Structures are given as structure tokens and as C-alpha cells.
Structure 1
Amino acid sequence: MNVLVTGGAGFIGANFVRRTLATRADARVTVLDALTYAGNAASLPEDERLTLVKGDIADMDTVSDLVGAADVVVHFAAESHNDNSLHDPWPFVHTNVIGTYTILEACRRHGTRLHHISTDEVYGDLELDDPAKFTPDTPYNPSSPYSSTKASSDLLVRAWARSFGLEATISNCSNNYGPYQHVEKFIPRQITNIIDGVRPKLYGAGLNVRDWIHVDDHNDAVWAIIDGGRIGATYLIGADGEVDNKTVVETILTEMGLDANAYDHVADRPGHDMRYAIDASLTHDELGWQPAYTDFASGLRATIAWYRDNEAWWRPQKQETELKYEQLGR
């Protein structure tokens, strides 16, 4: 099987590549990645079955050639940081909307199977006291330039599947954590700040709830969808890992041997969603997938250990990231 992974040098994509090469002896993987600040070739393993192509997801010539040689395309490529989307929305439109259109047209031209990776943020947010969870039928209600461009990309995939018969599936996943995640993201930023002796920073009161899932569990679910999912269907991926941001920071501090209150509050992000929660029952019931990391604290402990052991991977990113946050007052 020839697998094309767009955005395969990013956090979730790189872990997907590693997981694929480790568990599928018949797979050959080609990664297409622009290698912007969020893509890191050092996240990928050395493997003779892996080819890395540096290129723009919106470059039709490059994309078409790669799609034509693939049996399946797994489309991770996306700009994905809410803070960055508030500062400069254009890269999110270019990659998430135009890039997805480019992939769709190449898949249509070559008749190639597509799986599109998306986020639960397309659904907006839920109230803290609302017992409901997102389902595949939840109306879209995105809050930020990031989530609105991901919602746009989802709708494009649905339209190409319906109008052109494209063999495509979609998955919307909750917040991922684990190794190889850029230090601008919430969990690795707190971990690496503590390693550097810097107090973690928490937006507002930290009551915002996210539904956390380990990246390996997410990627195992993606393969379950590729192998057995219904063409045209949308599957939600989550691990029933609802935790508020305050608890996440306090857990990290405790796991790293510090006082749970040793953090600072900073001004909240504009339009900050309050709560995400995933109902993954369709994925469980139809495909038989279940997460392996059911205890968030143990998964977080393993993630902390990875960042402690792999400073050479994240250190080059750290100073520039913190300078950006300093300019934003966060």
C-alpha cells in the first residue's frame, strides 16, 4: 500500500507516519510537508519505506503527481494554532481551504481514496454545565479563523463526495497530546517552561474544558476508519478525556515535582471556546476501535518523560516561540 500523508512532518502526522511504519509491513509512506515552523523533518523516522517531499499543499502540479502514485491519501496538512489564526488568518485560508481543494481535485482526477483529518472545534463550544457532547450531526458553529477554515475544508470534502462520488471519509478529533508536539501548544509549552524554570501560564481562570486523547489512540482510530469506514461518513474520535485547563496545568506541575499552584494567570484569548466533548460511540460501535490511553494522568506522565528525554528535538523551537508569546502578552 502506497500512503500519501500530507502534513506528515507535523505533530499528529509524524506520529501517524511512525505508527504506520511500525505496524504495517506492507506500507510505503510518502510525506508531503511545506516544513514551515510547525513541520519538523526530525520528527520522522529513518526508514527506507519513507520518502519526504517538501512542497506546498496548494501546488496542484506537485500534489497531483503524488496523489496519482498513492493508494490512499491521509490529509493532515493544516495550520492549526488558534492564537496564530487571530494574528494572521491568511495562512489558514491558504492551507486549510485552498490546500484541501487542491487535494480533492487531485484525488478526483486520479480516483484516489481520501481520508480527511479535522477537529472538534468546527462545532464551536458547549456550556460547562451542558451534558451534551458533539456528534457527527452537530451543526457547525466555528469560533476562530482556524476552526472556520477547518469547517470549510470539511464541507468541501462532503461536497466532493456527494457531487463527484469521491471515495472520502472525515474524522473530527478532540485535542491531541503526546510526543513531537510543537512547544507553542498548551501541554508542551507548560512542560518545557517548567523544565526551563519558568512558571506556566494559564489563560483566564483556566476553566475551559478540553477532551484530551493521546495521539497514538487518534491515529489508530484513523486507520480503523480507512480500513472499515463507510465512504462519505464522518467519524468522531475522542477518549472521554474531559479535563479543564487549570487541572491540566496543576497535574503537570504535580507530576514534575512542583507545587500545583506554581503558575500565573494571563489575559484570556479572544473568543476562547469554553468546552469541547466528543461522542465517539459511532466509531466504537461500527469499527470496534477503543482508546488504549484511558487514564489521562498516565498518558501525561509519559509525555512529560518524552520532553525531558528529547530536549534536542524541542530546544531549537523554544526561544522563538516564547518571543512570539511575549509580543502577544501571553
Structure 2
Amino acid sequence: MEQTQGCVKLPVNDSCRFCSSNLRINGTLGSCKLIFDSRDKDNVCSQLSKLGLAIDNTSFRSYRICRRCCTTITRLMRDTEVLQKWKNAEREIEIEIETETCPGEDDSSADERDREPTETPPSETPPPAKKSRKSTGMPSRSSVTKVMITYDKQNENILKCQSDTAGIVENVAKRKFARAANLMSRHRELKEHLKASMLDVVEADCVTLCKQQNQFMLWRTSAEELQSFSFQELHDDLKRLSPFLFNILSKITNDSLPHICAAASVALRGRENRLAALSYYINSVLLNGGGPKKEVFQQLAKLGITTTKDNAVSKQQEMANYWTAPLNHIADPPSISPKHITDDS
């Protein structure tokens, strides 16, 4: 302790950073905790950061906190979680009100809502658009939907739809398939069945691509065929032979042409190792000018990106013997923009 003009000045780290209470009683530190404890991932500093208070470990401020202030922080963390749950619940209710059809609304009002908005006169300023996300739960309904099934002229069966499927049946009957599909994707059981059906479509697309007679571009691995390798043609083959799988990859990659081609090539080699045209193209880029070590090829081959180095060198020699043009363009492939290939490789 330092003594200044009769007053005792505590060392910085012997007091609580927030309430300044003395933590050293009878010469012993007690009932305190380190704020910046590196051994604890959820230390006091990280908890305060989650609450919106960022603090730094400086020499003129204490790095200790008393138990009473720790209890206050714990209570704030708990109360903040409760407040966030309340906010999320209110937000979901607002989204459902904005996105769902009000109970008892007739078809005419729904049709009016579905119409395109009329143009706003130049003198009037349109109101700002409300941002909302789709609700993942099934909307509540106050109406009753029934289905009448007629097997012949004498036998009729009327079924009352459950509340979670009534909206789907109603929209299918009205041929509002987009709305019906949206409701199906939010129904827990139907969603799983839809997922299985979509996977069957993906499986069929993969089988089509792996049939050699369909002349998918990744099958073209001879020296003559590799000379005319084209990202644009690979992209077009995917779109033509497997439209559903192509749409999935296009959505994931934000319609980036080279990423669609690379993702499809690596994924399909897991199913059929002979779909290696893009891998041989990458081999040529790596081998030009000496190339990486054999271990690099082994690691990349496990990922389906390249072939083994022995196969890569063998194919490079085959291309060198067959091609009359030099291989310089392999070392400097054309620039590939996300939307379009400007030049075939």
C-alpha cells in the first residue's frame, strides 16, 4: 500500500474494478474473480461483451471483480436472455400477421392482394417497403376444410381435414400450387417426405451424368478431348443433363459458373472416379513449371480435386505427344468471371 499525506492508497488490483471495494482483507485477497481469465472461455470480459460493454486490460484499472458485481452480471445475462425471447416472440407474431392470410378473408380480397401494385404518381412518394422473413411454422386457421370423395354414383365419403393440412388441401384445390408448396415445406412430416422425393430426383440426375453414353463432358479425358476442354460447355452439360442438381448448385454458389463446375466435378468423382476431365485440367496447371511434390497430389486426390501424380504425369506426357500446339495456355488459364467464361481453355 502507498501512503500519501496520511491517506492509504490501495494498489490498483486490490480493489473491484466496478464498485471499487477493497478485496484484500487482513492482507489476503478474497471473494473476488479475475476479469480477464484466459483459462475460462466464458470469463467476465466475454460476458460483458455480450451485454454490450467492451473493456480493456489496462495498467491503471483493476483486473479483479468482487463477487457481488459478478452476481449482478450473471443476473443481467439471465434477464437479457429472457428479454430476447420476448422480442423474438413479438417479432414472429408480427411476421405472421404480415405474411399470412387473415381468417375469414374471401377469395376476392386475396385476389386483389395478389395483383401487382399500380404505379405511384410522380408527385407521391411510395412508403418504405417492410422487410420480413418467412415464417417457419404452420399458420393458425379458424375455418374448416372438408373434402368429398365420390367413388361411384352411390358412395360418397366426406373427410374433414386436420388443421395442419387444411390450408394445403384448400390451395391445391384452388390450383395455388406455389402457396401449397410453401405450406408443405413448413409441415414437419410432409417436409421429410418432400426431402426424400427431392433426393430421389438428385439421384436420378447423378445416374444420368454417370452414364458414359450420355457424353457428359467430365467423361472426356483423352488427349484429343482435353485439348478442347471448356468450362462453359461443362456448365451447359450440367444444365442440360441434370437440371435439378444444376439448380441446387447454382443456388448454393450464387450462380457462379466456375464454382458450379468445380463443385459438380469434385462431388461426382466421389461416385464415379472416371469423371476426371476437370481433374486432368487442374493437373496440367499444377505440373506446368515443375509442379508440387507427390504428397500434395496425394492429398488433393483424396479430395477428388486431382488425380495421383503418376496419373497426372502420364496424362501430361500423352497430351504433349498428341498436341501439336504448345501447352503454354495451360499455365495461364483464361480469367473466369462469376457469370461468364470469356474464353475457352
Which structure has more relative contact order (CA 8 Å, sep 6+)? It is 1
More helix by share: 2
TM bucket, shorter chain: under 0.3
TM-score calculated relative to the size of structure 1: 0.19
**Higher gyration radius (CA):** 2
More strand by share: 1
